[in-house]
Homo-oligomer: A and B are copies of this chain.
Amino acid sequence: MKNLVSFIGNVPLFKGLPDAQLERLTHIATSKTIKRGKIVFSEGAEANGFYVVVRGRVKIYKLSPEGKEQVLHIVGFSEPFGEVPVFSGGRFPANAQAIEEALLMFFPRSAFVELIQNDSSLALNMLALLSKRLMQFTGIIEGLSLKDVPSRLASYLLDLSSRGGESSSLELDISKSLLADVLGTIPETVSRIFARMMAEGMVDVEGRRIVLLNRKKLKEVASGTVGLQLK
């Protein structure tokens, strides 16, 4: 239990809260383990609280009637998810599935709203969180509507590299099929584009290991300045 308090205190969403509030949070929270591949909640399900990831990762995604997926978000260590319906509707707008064995904390809606009413910094933290998510979604929309798949893939790689300290050598943290769902396309297309990028000498791909060989060209593709040659 002791480490639970310290865990919660280090969750960005709860940063800067007085100890008394952290204490209360631990009291209203319950924990839950989810096996790899299991559904945490489905779109349209009644939502009476939200989650924070303690261990493992969870993907948040939309499903088309034909079964195609669009991943909205992959949440990991100390990140919250499912918080949207806490403040507006009562139902989850998307699905959540564990992509690894996961340990989650669950915060019931009503108790959490009470806490927020009494702590403006918690409210501001939550506002900041939703705002950032809104910006991320704006980016997804921009990508889907205004960029082609090579551009989105190049952006993803550059982004991954920048988060990993600008190293040219990086490792995909997700499978290529899941990557396809993140980019809003299908595995075949991702595979073909990687092949083209290798042919152009932009990257070197070996399984999940990827080496960025030509950042400049990648950035051009990412920004839509230039296209990718067909053959």
Contact = CB atoms under 8 A, between A and B. Distances in A.
Of the candidates A120, A131, A132, the one having the most CB atoms from chain B within 10 angstroms of its own CB is A131
Interface stretch (A3-11, A111-119, A196-204, A210-218): A111-119
B64 A147 contact: yes
Given A117-B120, A224-B65, A134 B135 contact: no
A70 interface: yes
A131 B85 contact: yes
A19 interface: no
Interface in A121-180: 123-124, 126-128, 130-135, 137-142, 144-147
A155 to B, nearest CB: 13
A16 B172 CA distance: 48
Contacts of A144: 141, 144-145, 184
A124 B120 contact: no
A82 B144 CA distance: 22
A127 B124 contact: no
A94 interface: yes
A124 B131 contact: no
B135 A89 contact: yes
A68 interface: yes
Interface of A: 62-66, 68, 70, 72, 84-89, 93-94, 113, 116-118, 120, 123-124, 126-128, 130-135, 137-142, 144-147, 184, 223-225
6 contacts: A65-B225, A68-B146, A93-B135, A123-B123, A127-B127, A127-B130
